């Protein structure tokens, strides 16, 4: 247990089982097709790395970096693309891989942006879904866990670039992020 965290929300073993399950579902759904998995940096990197190893169909991956949080614990509501794809998406089956869907602002924007580039399909896969905070609608095709409205870190998720390396999902103690000028 990390001293800055209140408790473990999702243990490592449950994450691993869910990643295997999602990989099997994606493989079944895309049998006979090639996938382009788009990981959203930096949070989805660990999830994407584990997930692609569980997918049996031909799979390529690339990354996008977007910002809507900065060093804050709350979304600013403005999405900026910091790093775009290195490859084209025209005619490809795309799965956007995200660590968490919270307000939906980022993924709603990314799905619209990628759909405008003429892919064969665009679906969303997320490890965590926090529907109580949703502002923009997002259709999540592959969902790991639905979580309550708590600030979580670990398995790629961070607060101010810290805690990504934790092997499970933990609830961050509010004392860590409260009264930091946010």
> What residues are annotated to the active site?
102
Question: What distances in angstroms separate CA 1 from CA 127, 145, 171, one per listed residue?
Answer: 21, 21, 11
DSSP 14: H
What do you get for the CA distance between the two ends of the chain, in Å? 26
- 142 contacts 128 by C-beta, under 8 angstroms: no
What gap in Å lies between CA 69 and CA 133, rounded to an integer? 14
Tell me if 61 sits within 8 A of 36, measured CB to CB: yes
d(CA 91, CA 73): 37
Q: Which residues contact 106 (CB under 8 A, 6 or more apart)?
A: 40, 66, 68, 75, 79, 98
Tokens linked to 90:
């025209």
Cβ count within 10 A of residue 156: 27
At 127, which helix (H) or strand (E)? strand 121-129
């Amino acid at each position: 247990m990390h001293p800055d965290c209140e408790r473990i929300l999702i243990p490592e073993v449950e994450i691993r089982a869910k990643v295997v399950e999602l990989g099997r579902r994606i493989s079944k759904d895309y049998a006979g097709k090639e996938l382009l998995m788009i990981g959203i940096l930096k949070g989805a990197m660990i999830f994407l790395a584990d997930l692609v190893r569980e997918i049996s169909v031909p799979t390529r991956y690339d990354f996008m970096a977007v910002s809507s949080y900065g060093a804050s614990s709350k979304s600013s509501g403005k999405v900026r693309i910091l790093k775009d794809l290195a490859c084209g998406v025209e005619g490809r089956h795309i799965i956007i891989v995200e660590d968490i869907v919270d307000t939906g602002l980022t993924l709603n924007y990314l799905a619209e942006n990628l759909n405008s580039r003429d892919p064969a399909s665009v679906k969303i896969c997320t490890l965590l879904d926090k529907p109580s905070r949703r502002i923009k609608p997002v259709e999540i095709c592959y969902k790991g866990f639905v979580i309550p409205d708590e600030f979580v870190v670990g398995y790629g998720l961070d607060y101010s670039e810290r805690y990504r390396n934790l092997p499970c999902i933990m609830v961050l103690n509010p004392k860590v992020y409260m009264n930091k000028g946010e």
